[in-house]
Amino acid sequence: MIITYGSSTERLARRTAEIGNLRVVEINRRLFPDGEQYLRLLGDVEGEDVAVFQSLGLNPDRSFMEYALLVDALKGAGCRSVTGVVPYLAYARQDRRFNKGEPLSAKIIAKLIESAGTDRIITIDMHLHRFRDINEVFDIPATNLTAMNLLAEYYANSHDACNSVVVGPDGESEQWAKIVADKLSARCHVLEKERLGDREVQISDTASIQGARAVLVDDMISTGKTMIEVIIRLKAQGVRHVDALVTHSLMVDDAYPKLRGAGLSELISTDTVEGPQSLVSVAPVLAKALKH
């Protein structure tokens, strides 16, 4: 297996290659004056199996186009197969036509990845709420890994998790909250959420959550509106310390200072989307997956 990478995920690709003792093929890339992307492989991949690392966070349209160009370049250079390693898969949250006239974007992004020439796909904590399994979304072999064990292990080793309660902000987060609660030997409480728009949510009552420390768990934070409402409620009822564990930290609309202002003590995330809170690397689980 050889690894190459898009511009959004170079560090993670190199970490994974180091752990897995895998060769990295470098890329020469630049922009044409009108904004079109150009790239060229700088190594021989003929007859090889290649993993392309590219997260689709923060600038998903440009990142996907770069990914498609990479896959085509690899296939044109004679590689045997391409495994797409897309740690954060954008467009997965629209997994149903909620209103008439809307696209089913989860299926669309899957078809685009497949049509680019991808033979296999690996994601991490993909939004799978209305689909039971990632293989209901993709027609190629697909694996959805989780970072929650790594996040829980990091938290247990760096914090006093005694008497903590793990809180999932909505039903979609239950699968991840239960993993963390089990690892921390903590109670688990899952709330209900009603989304009022792209940036507004309403959360069910948190009065039954008691304890000195709460650990919020979810797959991603974008604007942080859901987390902020939960934090404010928890602090108001006497929870002194609130931390958050999330796989994908997108942090748009000044989300982090708003979370801190609401009373969040610490946010711990992974390098599926690189940022200041990326304290945990998913490279170990990816290196293991690429060996199989």
- Burial (Cβ within 10 Å: 0-12, 13-18, ≥19) of residue 132: exposed
Residue 74 inside a domain? The answer is yes
For residue 174, give its domain range.
Answer: 148-271
- In this structure, are residues 268 and 104 in contact, taking their beta carbons and an 8 Å threshold? no
Whether 15 and 90 share a structural domain: yes
What band does 82 get if pLDDT is binned at 50, 70 and 90? very high
What band does 83 get if pLDDT is binned at 50, 70 and 90? very high
The pLDDT assigned to 96 comes to 74
| 204-237 confidence digits (pLDDT tens) | 566 567 777 999 999 999 999 989 999 998 998 8
Rounded to the nearest integer, the mean pLDDT of the chain is 92
The pLDDT assigned to 200 comes to 58
> Is 201's pLDDT higher than 60?
no
Residue 180 inside a domain? The answer is yes
Residue 132 inside a domain? The answer is yes
Catalytic residue among 75, 100, 111, 193: 193
Other CB atoms closer than 10 Å to residue 229's CB: what's the count?
19
Is 107 assigned a catalytic role?
Answer: no
Pairing status of strand 201-203 against strand 193-195: antiparallel
> Is 183's pLDDT higher than 70?
yes
Whether 10 and 135 share a structural domain: yes
Residue 276 inside a domain? The answer is no
Whether 125 and 178 share a structural domain: no
Q: What is the DSSP string of 152-170?
A: HHHHHHHS--TTEEEEESS
Q: Token pair 């609401």 is at which residue?
A: 262
Please work out, in degrees rounded to the nearest 5, the angle formed at the alpha carbon of residue 247 by the alpha carbons of 241 and 250. Answer: 90
The pTM score is: 0.92
- In this structure, are residues 8 and 59 in contact, taking their beta carbons and an 8 Å threshold? yes
Whether 129 and 213 share a structural domain: no
Other CB atoms closer than 10 Å to residue 101's CB: what's the count?
5
Least confident residue range of 17-31, 144-158, 202-216 = 202-216
* Amino acid in position 108: I
Whether 113 and 207 share a structural domain: no
Whether 99 and 191 share a structural domain: no
Backbone torsions φ then ψ of 96, nearest 5 degrees: -160, 155
Pick the residue with more confidence: 198 or 145? 145
Whether 121 and 154 share a structural domain: no
Q: What is the CA radius of gyration of the chain?
A: 20
- In this structure, are residues 108 and 94 in contact, taking their beta carbons and an 8 Å threshold? no
First to last CA, the chain: 10
Whether 138 and 232 share a structural domain: no
Residue 32 inside a domain? The answer is yes
Closest residue by Cα to residue 274 from 13, 1, 3, 4: 13
Residue 258, domain CATH:
3.40.50.2020
Contacts of 211 (CB under 8 A, 6+ apart): 163, 164, 165, 187, 239
